[in-house]
Structure 1
């Protein structure tokens, strides 16, 4: 996908009416921000910012684009009128500092003295964490209207970029649900559906992959337009312990995060904690729970771009309903606060009592003002250190290995290679192409090789995405203690996830290079009276297959290798018989998606393919895996229908579906869903025994059930399959952990599920099920009999040696396909999308037919 075009349209600019009275949020909304049981809608927030914009020269509200569901996505610029008048000059200076190549230290210091620091506050990415979107109105009002000398200094020395919500759709999704359930037993619960159309809570896991509209909008703000020195990511957390978290963060540190930047984060966190304490706010904790290892969040990707990313987490209420808590009921946390007691990082525990939305608003406002005060009083340091961090990255890339990563042109999946390069480029990484052959580490690489030099400002971002992660082996209570479970993902290496060969260069080398923008492969489609092959190596080949079947074309999988256009084409290629319009359709698709149709002779026999009648189960438990599955299916033009509990319980599924996908969820969540009394009746109970029985009947009558991740456990429990779990889930003496790592499997590439892939195959593993097969069950992917870790962390790897990761089980006239791993996790592992797509088409593939 191409970069989102910049849309910087002044929002509600009503001429020079800046002398009219500036309305307070309370006067506009009719209630105080943070009042019990009250929430502003997204329209309320838009309207209020429009009125501020019309009333003062100290704020300019911009519409940056649209949210996923079409709501305006806004950002408010708050500063002095003079700074806003010269905002283009400030942006140009920030861009120059962000890439300091050719900028002298003397000039950088001069820019720091005369320049303006830029701070971005991003609110409400997680829609049930409602306080910050509400708080943004009051913060904006205070900063625009106050004549306090300290705030005047802030306006003179800082430009604030204030984003009232990073998820505008979620503001209304949560508010509407809250208002609907107010006064009922389920008041203050989360909605039974995702609060972002596709990602839900995982919208804060998309900041290097950039799949969602909102992420791409803000990525442009960060790394193409404004290049802020500080980004503040405002969150809420559970309410069983501390009231407010600010940095420093807990261990481990990621070695790619520069030490100077780590110290800056500690400085900001200490300043925030000080100001909160000075304002009499108890319950503030530091150095607990949240760490700096993982790459991909709103505050963690900026680290790799020399930007100080700050997180706060406030104890939540029940959306906007207050809670009362006794101190004796409050607890600590396994990371940084073993008990709820006084300790160095928690000097004043909150004593309990009423906790309200207004409390959260006040803590967040103090934290926001603290950051702005520090940025304004030390703005020369912030600006100069931004320059320093960029120069340090460049010098590290020049003087320390790795010196580059190479992406050779001879890739198994050239479109995945393009997608990898595009992802890096959109994240601000500079990419080169070799004009001539080059030698690196004693190996010759041809002209056309992609070169990602490490001597560039965003070295940390490129390196952290391209290298293999090695999470430290951390133990509780000493080296022989229980493993400390990581906070989030431990491995994310994109070349492994995307199936791209990338080579680390560890010695200096010379090459004739030119800077490039990534481009899709460009292939001419020749004429053929017989038909065309698609090698079925790329996900876009399946996109084309979906489009062509929808247009009425015929398609087959080949059942043995063949030759076409001077090359050998492997088993499982797609054969498209010629008919009127096929060449034109393929030509258009080749231009749009980079596919390579190859003219050739008709194979004798193969698998006949047809459009699958696809169903995707959507539980009423706001399942993120279901949302990501939907996004991937839509991205590649799969037609599908959503099933809910009522349809599963009604039965006769084979009348409407050939294949049904169950997203990853624990069996209890699938079977029982929400408990009675916790949700309106239509959203409780899960699929129930009746739904499970109907799924089994669907399979026996010829349907295919695809179980992703933990959903496989439901089939093991209820379907009497010749498959058992390869792990003892209740074993405590020898635990197994692999939370969010990339593991190797050996793939049976002759099986239709593995068509187009190679072996060994990296897969994304998150405490996933593994299998032992017998009888007529076929293992399509097995873990090797050695440590399968490729990137991340694993404990107890011996327990999965030789076990299966992917199983095909015939059941009467149908089949069950068990994915232990997550083939579509967060839309990152492009390499295993294809295995999921194969599973869908396998459900309707007729083998050993004569090709017409």
Structure 2
């Protein structure tokens, strides 16, 4: 052997030895945690996991640890980037390629193919979003360990061609849930049940419903990586649990899918789902079900998986069984017969945590293997879908929807009836043309949010939600005109000729959910989540839909760079006026009250009036400056003023935590309302008026009235036994009961307290024997009322339009017609004499037979003349009842004022 060859051989041996040494120094999960991932009765908490992630990054040249932001409880949220050492050295370039292809701007097909060939597939795998679904975070730990250490050919190929973003979705929740489970020394006593609070500080399970709004810090962190920084071609979101009698539910998913999607997205879902399903079958891992084998669809926007679809990202969800406590796969005979949804059924058996981990790792590898094999196709296809979106937004385009197809059928049926004939040859194309080529029915080319609109700060919050999800927004640098309308400098423009056009349309345009029934005349099939959610409607954003191409003095805002309004310094004046229709006015007013400044409400229009003082000027400058609110100098002092003071506010919650209550608590913190959380035990003790002026009950707090029951269980047994709960949480046990709690609430009202109820908690009106009744009923043959069946009336989460009595103080700042979020919500009929006597004041009602604005409203005509909200005198106090979800997931900014108006004391 020549000296040169010998030298090369020795260097190769040294390099190989160093790599082996490097891998041998990487601690296994058992080395670190003291148990293997998937061992029975064992869970890792976040403190331990954080330390392990740091060890992996420190000892493996395949792993980079990235801090993506803080959580709501101020922990660090991490993302592991896993790939070959060579790829990790060039992450900036591969991120740039991923961004360029996803945005699809200014690239020729040849350039896109070249970038796809050069780039690496970017694949997102997360875990732990729903922290009580413990497989999720533990499979992430195990997969990270395997990718960091395995040397088999498949792993080496994956590391060469794929960049894996392994993201911890909920550090706070893992710490809570794992510590709760592991608190028992005896493994046999360990349980995931009975956790005393939500596993995300405010919203618990709803942390998977926040991804077009990005309210929470964790979702903001994740959203930035998904939609601004990396834009992966595939994202995989792990969940639990699979349908009974199966092991795992996954892609592809059942209909309907959202009509704004590119068809390439849906067939890509089929392809990746087939790879996942096939790998399990090849590894003799039965029990995978898909499509109609589960309830999951691709209609909804707002979930971690589903929002990605509107960005041309292949979003994967699996729901798997499994727990650190061994469980059973039950016998479900209907699941045992093979079919196209479940070709390889699982038989009843004992099931262990490790089996779920192994399934999850196999599914991860199936996705990564697919990405490695079809790397250039994945990269090119996300460009192709973006390019298609840009082209559709650059010309006249029409999107199919059920209403448009219904219009075609109705037009044809009308002509057929007039002709008294029967065309068996098919429908003439003219019927298609009259709908799908009608200028008024084409898709918008863009939207303009004028700078002179009433609530600009809320509109900017809307725009920032778009920007944080990667949407391109433009701003006018000078006055301009489109058609016959003039717009001022500073107006915002969102065009549809961009890659994420599906998301733009989905945020501005109504969703048109199909009538989805098991069979004709049967019950409706519930959507997986909401049926309609048009954010511009729910936030009451005023915009113009522009149907033809338009341009102007527009500058592009940088992707991901949020808008910050500058309110400017408020001039010195004898007094200041804040518009009561603007949400951020309440933020400024609350800061003024906390500073000891006197504030009044103008009884004629609900605006706020603040007499001039040095303290007022300083507070206004600081608070208004933070939110960009314009505060006006008052020309004259209004003649009809009433001083306000902050109410002492109590917000109901329950053991284990209420998501609806958590959302309200978060909203109130954002707008600087002070509130105390109140639990049933405190309510049952009474004497509430000595501590509170107003109590808020969100949906789920007040049970339905049980007629003929004089004594009921007090609800103290609700939740675990007191001795099983740490002392600090025992006062949260119990629930609102008919025999103990309701009388105390009546005492509170009699003493002059106010109660605000939302959604199902408007049941309180029936407990108080107010002259109201359920409007959504029909008469039976024997003259009795019964609830309308779903076959006749069914409205899952959708946006409806209602009329408001704007003269009522409860409605200050509202318009005569406004959109509300409605989810089979309560609707009332009020006794006529109760209205004429002034005992009950209708606040909102359905004035038409067609109130649907976005979503699905089967039998909506039944709503006409039904009351959606009312205010009732009760003793010296009042009950305010809102049937619709006026604070829903902190998305419904257009109706926040309905709550805010109830949270001040008006003092004569």
- What TM-score, normalized by structure 2, do the two folds share? 0.86
- CA shift, 1:110, in A, is 1.4
Match of 2:818 among 761, 766, 775: 761
Larger Rg: 2
1:405-434, Cα deviation, whole Å (9 max, x unpaired): 122233221211111111111211111234
Q: Say if 2:215 is the partner of 1:178.
A: no
Q: Say if 2:602 is the partner of 1:574.
A: no
Q: Say if 2:572 is the partner of 1:527.
A: yes
Residue 751 of structure 1: aligned partner: 808
- CA shift, 1:99, in A, is 2.0
Residue 725 of structure 2: aligned partner: none
1:211-248, Cα deviation, whole Å (9 max, x unpaired): 11111111111122212111100111255232101111
- CA shift, 1:140, in A, is 1.1
Matches of 2:583 and 2:701 in 1, distance apart?
29
After the TM superposition, which of the residue ranges 828-837 and 105-114 deviates more from structure 2? Answer: 105-114
Matches of 1:26 and 1:136 in 2, distance apart?
15
Residue 814 of structure 1: aligned partner: 877
Residue 690 of structure 2: aligned partner: 655
Match of 1:665 among 681, 694, 700: 700
Residue 359 of structure 1: aligned partner: 355
Matches of 1:698 and 1:185 in 2, distance apart?
42
Instruction: Please say if residues 69 and 169 of structure 1, whose CA atoms lie closer than 8 Å, have aligned partners that are also in contact.
Output: yes
Matches of 2:320 and 2:330 in 1, distance apart?
18
Match of 1:489 among 514, 530, 543: 530
Change (3 A) 1:325 1:758: same
Change (3 A) 1:559 1:326: closer
Matches of 1:722 and 1:176 in 2, distance apart?
49
RMSD between aligned residues: 2.2
Residue 587 of structure 1: aligned partner: 621
1:372-413, Cα deviation, whole Å (9 max, x unpaired): 000011111111112111111111111223211122233221
Matches of 1:298 and 1:555 in 2, distance apart?
42
Matches of 1:502 and 1:347 in 2, distance apart?
49
Q: Say if 2:538 is the partner of 1:477.
A: no
Residue 25 of structure 2: aligned partner: 21
Change (3 A) 1:210 1:677: closer
Instruction: Please say if residues 42 and 171 of structure 1, whose CA atoms lie closer than 8 Å, have aligned partners that are also in contact.
Output: yes
1:580-604, Cα deviation, whole Å (9 max, x unpaired): 3212221222221122222222223
After the TM superposition, which of the residue ranges 616-625 and 756-765 deviates more from structure 2? Answer: 616-625
Matches of 1:684 and 1:652 in 2, distance apart?
19
Matches of 2:166 and 2:238 in 1, distance apart?
11
Residue 776 of structure 2: aligned partner: 727
- What TM-score, normalized by structure 1, do the two folds share? 0.91
1:298-343, Cα deviation, whole Å (9 max, x unpaired): 11111111211111111244xx21212441xx376xxxxxx66432
Q: Say if 2:600 is the partner of 1:551.
A: no
Match of 1:619 among 641, 654, 678: 654
1:408-557 matched pairs, under 5 angstroms: 408-435=450-477, 438=480, 440=482, 443-478=485-520, 480-516=521-557, 518-520=563-565, 522-529=567-574, 531-557=575-601
Match of 1:91 among 87, 95, 99: 95
Residue 772 of structure 1: aligned partner: 829
- CA shift, 1:180, in A, is 3.6
Matches of 1:796 and 1:768 in 2, distance apart?
14
Change (3 A) 1:674 1:441: farther
Matches of 2:178 and 2:270 in 1, distance apart?
35
Instruction: Please say if residues 654 and 703 of structure 1, whose CA atoms lie closer than 8 Å, have aligned partners that are also in contact.
Output: yes
Change (3 A) 1:34 1:674: farther
2:252 match: secondary structure: coil
- CA shift, 1:47, in A, is 1.5
Matches of 1:439 and 1:291 in 2, distance apart?
42
1:50-90, Cα deviation, whole Å (9 max, x unpaired): 22222111111122222110112111111111111111121
Q: Say if 2:65 is the partner of 1:61.
A: yes
Change (3 A) 1:357 1:522: same
2:646 match: secondary structure: coil
Instruction: Please say if residues 185 and 677 of structure 1, whose CA atoms lie closer than 8 Å, have aligned partners that are also in contact.
Output: no
Change (3 A) 1:675 1:284: farther
1:166-245 matched pairs, under 5 angstroms: 166-180=169-183, 187-237=191-241, 240-245=244-249
Change (3 A) 1:646 1:551: same
Residue 401 of structure 2: aligned partner: none
Change (3 A) 1:746 1:138: same
Note the residue ranges of structure 2 that are not aligned, 5 or more in a row: 1-19, 398-442, 706-711, 723-729, 778-785
After the TM superposition, which of the residue ranges 682-691 and 650-659 deviates more from structure 2? Answer: 682-691
Instruction: Please say if residues 591 and 623 of structure 2, whose CA atoms lie closer than 8 Å, have aligned partners that are also in contact.
Output: no
1:67-106 matched pairs, under 5 angstroms: 67-106=71-110
1:476 match: secondary structure: coil
Matches of 1:737 and 1:521 in 2, distance apart?
45
Residue 269 of structure 2: aligned partner: 265
Q: Say if 2:653 is the partner of 1:596.
A: no
Change (3 A) 1:652 1:44: same
- CA shift, 1:798, in A, is 2.2
Change (3 A) 1:660 1:229: same
Instruction: Please say if residues 414 and 521 of structure 1, whose CA atoms lie closer than 8 Å, have aligned partners that are also in contact.
Output: no
Residue 637 of structure 1: aligned partner: 672
Instruction: Please say if residues 619 and 686 of structure 1, whose CA atoms lie closer than 8 Å, have aligned partners that are also in contact.
Output: yes
2:159 match: secondary structure: helix
Matches of 2:301 and 2:586 in 1, distance apart?
30
Residue 845 of structure 2: aligned partner: 782
1:237 match: secondary structure: coil
Matches of 2:338 and 2:24 in 1, distance apart?
50
Q: Say if 2:735 is the partner of 1:686.
A: yes
Matches of 1:700 and 1:272 in 2, distance apart?
62
Matches of 1:17 and 1:555 in 2, distance apart?
71
Note the residue ranges of structure 1 that are not aligned, 5 or more in a row: 1-15, 333-338, 561-570
Residue 111 of structure 1: aligned partner: 115
Change (3 A) 1:489 1:441: farther
Residue 377 of structure 1: aligned partner: 373
Residue 247 of structure 1: aligned partner: 251
* Number of corresponding residues: 806
- CA shift, 1:469, in A, is 1.0
After the TM superposition, which of the residue ranges 494-503 and 585-594 deviates more from structure 2? Answer: 585-594
Matches of 2:790 and 2:615 in 1, distance apart?
64
Residue 307 of structure 1: aligned partner: 313
Matches of 2:203 and 2:333 in 1, distance apart?
30
Instruction: Please say if residues 33 and 134 of structure 1, whose CA atoms lie closer than 8 Å, have aligned partners that are also in contact.
Output: yes
Change (3 A) 1:104 1:733: closer
After the TM superposition, which of the residue ranges 461-470 and 187-196 deviates more from structure 2? Answer: 187-196
After the TM superposition, which of the residue ranges 506-515 and 818-827 deviates more from structure 2? Answer: 506-515
1:40 match: secondary structure: coil
Instruction: Please say if residues 41 and 190 of structure 2, whose CA atoms lie closer than 8 Å, have aligned partners that are also in contact.
Output: no
1:249 match: secondary structure: strand
